[in-house]
Amino acid sequence: MISDIEQARRSSLDLLDQTRRATRSALSSLDPELVVNNDERAWRVRDVVGHLAVWNGEAARSLSAHAMGAEYFCITASTKYDEYNGPAADERSTWRMEQVWAEYEASHEQLKKMVEQMPVERWDREMVYPWSERGTTEMLIKRMMKHEKIDHCDPIIGVASK
């Protein structure tokens, strides 16, 4: 019989795989230069894919630290998002789209690896997320994949279909 934790781990891995496939399917055929969001800056498809890659990598680092009984975060409060997101997008703004997708794929693999390797005894323990909030491993994966699909991919599909 499979434990509740192992079932949650499998569900998290499935969610990671499903989200990655959906993102790849939805965004890879779009013009990388298509502007999809004009808030503080003009965000292109390439910028959003890079943004997702960066945050998935940060989540993987937080999970890695948590697995070892430590903490990792890259910003101290949600008010600091723009200070982090802007430079991260700027750094990738001149990359070839193949490089951006490669980072996206690698960061998803890192995240998946950390979920696979999370010690059972640390799975349900509260941890620090990259943006300094707290929750469990499972909730981090749910938040990250919601961020990817609902906050970014779905709105891009809406813009692209107009």
Tokens at 48, concatenated: 């959003």
With a cut of 90, say whether residue 37 has pLDDT above it: no
Distance from chain centroid for Cα 155: 16
pLDDT digits (tens, 9 = 90+) for 38-51: 777 788 999 999 99
Q: Which domain holds residue 141?
A: 4-160
Rg (CA), the chain: 16
3-state secondary structure of 44: strand
Give the whole-angstrom CA distance, residue 71 versus residue 51: 22
3-state secondary structure of 49: helix
Average pLDDT over the chain, rounded to an integer: 93
β-partners of residue 42 are 38
Element (H, E) at 37: strand 35-38
Give the whole-angstrom CA distance, residue 126 versus residue 65: 12
Residues 140, 59: contact at Cβ < 8 Å? yes
Give the whole-angstrom CA distance, residue 136 versus residue 66: 10
Amino acid making up residue 68: M
Local structure of residue 151 (DSSP, 8 states): I
pLDDT digits (tens, 9 = 90+) for 109-149: 999 999 999 999 999 999 999 999 999 999 999 999 999 99
Give me the number of domains the chain comprises.
Answer: 1
CATH number at residue 73: 1.20.120.450
pTM of the predicted model, to two decimals?
0.93
With a cut of 80, say whether residue 86 has pLDDT above it: yes
Q: Which pLDDT score, from 0 to 100, does residue 60 have? A: 98
